[in-house]
Structure 1
Amino acid sequence: MDYFLQGPHWADFQRALGRTVHEQSGPGWSFLAVEESNPAGKLLYTPYGPVAASVEAFDTALAALTDLARRTGAVFVRIEPVSAGLAVPAAAGELRRRGLQPAPVNQQPELSWIVDLDRDFKEVLADMKPVNRNLYRNIHKKGVTFRATKDPAEISVLLEFLHLTAARNGFKPQSDEYLSQVARSLMPTGAATLFIAELEGSPIAAALAYDSTDTRTYAHAALDDAHRKLSAGIPLLVTLMADAKEKGLKHVDLWGVAPEGQPDHKWAGFTAFKKSFGGRGVEYPGTWDLPVRKLRYAAYQLARKAAQAAKRAPAGLRALTGKLKSIRR
């Protein structure tokens, strides 16, 4: 699979946000690294990268990233080697042997759900739950139609539905400016497409997808709660898949899912929805840090763990600590 976050269109988008992006490649490897900052200082982040055809190529890419970090003054490199010849679960040991350590949190999902399109689309439909197939085939009888657009101005449709969903479910979506810049940077090039479901000409659901050379990534979606009973989000996603198949793409990445046996996971509801379309799970090594300025990185980790411990401490102990600090002052 070709990961969109390591592609040239994502690099252009990051630059449009005002970020510094580095792209390097060699025999069997490549990476897109974005300069970011956190309490430790500057870092280089390679989302779902570096990409490598073998473990040997991965080591070369890692050396190039280390050299780049030294030249740019980065404290550490943050990687997500989803395509580097490192199989899970053995990847953890291989990464530790190379001096990496797990990042405090995974930046991108370590579990994803993939629907393969390199077969007849009837087979793709056959793997879905019957209700999904039936909605896709019959929802037009209720006056619902679907269309795709590459007009950045129409991102406002998705933004409106995201606001409604956020207010209803109490989550914070990505900012309007961020998604508007996504639309301005990626939709005119064909790297992003907005799919809209309409009831008698009025939008009732929308989904934004990103395309790489062989994979479409289902990135953002929301619907109008007033028409929830129509379940338009299901045939909208099937339409997104059918369109990807027509364009010759081989996979649809439905993005993050919850681990097995965790019904209380925050993604459990999304996971059940995504798995209803058939497909297969993919496990990635997760997000890892390679310290370059090791003393500074170690100090950052100590400070972070101390702050976490303070938050977990009982209220009485935190109050006593506060009093001791005031006495010392």
Structure 2
Amino acid sequence: MKENTNITNSSVSFLQSGAWEELQRRLGRKTIRCQTPGLSGFGILVNARFGNHYAYFPHGPSGVWSAENINEFVEKTREAAGDAKPFFLRVEPFVKDSEELSDTLKRAGFIKARANQPEETFIIDLTKHKEEILSGTEHDTRYSIRAAEKRGVVIEKTEGNSRADKFEIFWKMFEKTNERHNLSSYGKEYYRRVFFLDGDASSKTFFAYLDGEPIACATTVFFGNQAAYLYAASMDGFGKYNAPTLLIWNALLDAKENGCVSFDLWGVSSTNKKWSGVTAFKKGFGGRSVRRAGTWDIIFNNIKYQTYLLAKKIL
């Protein structure tokens, strides 16, 4: 099969921003930078127990995904990792999934792995007029936006210094949401760091209030001319007020007003039934369905790699 040497990132994910790299460092994780003429990005040296590490490039690296560039990047990464000596390298090309890219990665020695980041998403085109974006939503979504406004839901945006006294409000709702739906999550400090993210990538959290009381919230991250909706939380018993729908509508309008050209709804699934509710909710906002290339590993020590996979299943 003919090699495709022109699979190139059309954009770079906020997961490859300097601010996100700094967030990882502040969480105590060691990062590395690897730059070659064809591909570049930052990676995390993940501690996989017993002194073993692997190198993970979240939504990266970025550049031109040719076999030659990939091979060179692999070697440079092993050099950059130094004494950590990763037993495998994990990459996540921030490009559309394609047979050509899969073939190129396989020829370079990579295997498809279980996804670290969601492979499917909906992306809303913010270059359209507000009315056109609204008309592209489903009927139920438009109804929910209007109903929330009529029922007295008020949206407040927090960013910069205005976030100082709001994190604990977010965290209370987030914990309750996870308990209610039996969801796992990172530790509190991770979400604190994302809540206050600043630099070349920054976050905003939108709160929905009813009669002055917070009932829902949603966090978005801005990087360049892109915005991404990361996660949300809500209080139980307020479903009829449609606050989550109004939150996302306000978040994407805010992104548009601030010069963003796209709004990434960040994670849906056409196959996982557990995600069916979330997928249907996000689909209601319209947008273009996108499947990204996913997660790929190249193994340097197969015994350690198989032990790692087994441990992941058990623990």
In 2, are the aligned partners of 1:23 and 1:33 still within 8 Å (CA)? yes
Q: CA separation in 1, counterparts of 2:221 and 2:150?
A: 29
Task: Look up the match of 2:231.
Answer: 220
Find 2:307's aligned residue among 281, 287, 303.
303
Counterpart of 1:244, as a letter, is A
Q: Is the 8 A contact 2:31 2:42 kept in 1?
A: yes
- 5+ residue gaps, structure 2, are 1-10
Contact 2:18 2:201 (C-alpha < 8 Å) held by counterparts: no
Q: 1:319 maps to which residue?
A: none
For 1:69, the aligned partner's letter is A
Q: Which residue of 2 aligns with 1:289?
A: 297
2:203 to 174, 192, 196: 192
- Aligned match of 2:14 in 4, 7, 13? 4
Tell me the equivalent position of 1:268.
276
Q: Displaced runs of 4+ in structure 1, greater than 3 A?
A: 24-29, 56-63, 69-72, 187-190, 301-309
Identity percentage over the alignment?
30
* Cα distance change of structure 1 residues 148 and 306 upon mapping to structure 2, 3 Å threshold: closer
Deviations 1:242-276 (A, max 9, x none): 000001111111111112xx3x6221111011101
- CA distance in 1 between counterparts of 2:33 and 2:309 reads 33
Larger Rg: 1
**Cα separation, 1, equivalents of 2:64 and 2:181:** 42
RMSD: 2.5
1:320 alignment counterpart: none
Structure 1 residue 120 displacement after superposition = 1.2
Structure 1 runs not aligned, ≥5 long = 312-329
Q: Is the 8 A contact 1:89 1:285 kept in 2?
A: no
Cα distance, 1:87 vs structure 2: 4.7
Shift of 1:39: 4.8
Is the alpha carbon distance of 1:21 and 1:307 closer, same or farther for their aligned partners in structure 2, counting shifts above 3 Å? closer
Is the CA contact (8 Å cut-off) linking 2:201 and 2:224 kept in structure 1? Answer: no
Within the alignment, does 1:132 sit opposite 2:141 as a pair? yes
Give 2:239's aligned amino acid.
Answer: R
Number of aligned positions between the proteins: 299
1:100 counterpart (107, 110, 118):
110
| Residue of structure 2 equivalent to 1:65 | 77
| Shift of residue 187, structure 1, vs aligned partner | 5.1
Shift of 1:60: 4.1
Residue in structure 1 matching 2:174, options 149, 162, 165: 162
Deviations 1:165-199 (A, max 9, x none): 22222222332222112224x05887000100111
Q: Would the aligned equivalents of 1:127 and 1:278 in 2 still touch at CA under 8 Å?
A: yes
More helix by share: 1
1:29 paired residue among 35, 39, 47? 39
Contact preservation (8 Å) 2:227, 2:264: yes
- Select the residue among 152, 155, 161 that pairs with 1:146: 155
CA distance in 1, matches of 2:311, 2:86: 23
1:181 aligns with 2:208: no
Conservation of the 8 A alpha-carbon contact between 1:112 and 1:256: yes
> Given the alignment, which residue of 28, 37, 40 partners 1:18?
28
Deviations 1:223-252 (A, max 9, x none): 112211111100110000000000111111
CA distance in 1: counterparts of 2:30 and 2:246, whole angstroms:
39
1:248 aligns with 2:278: no
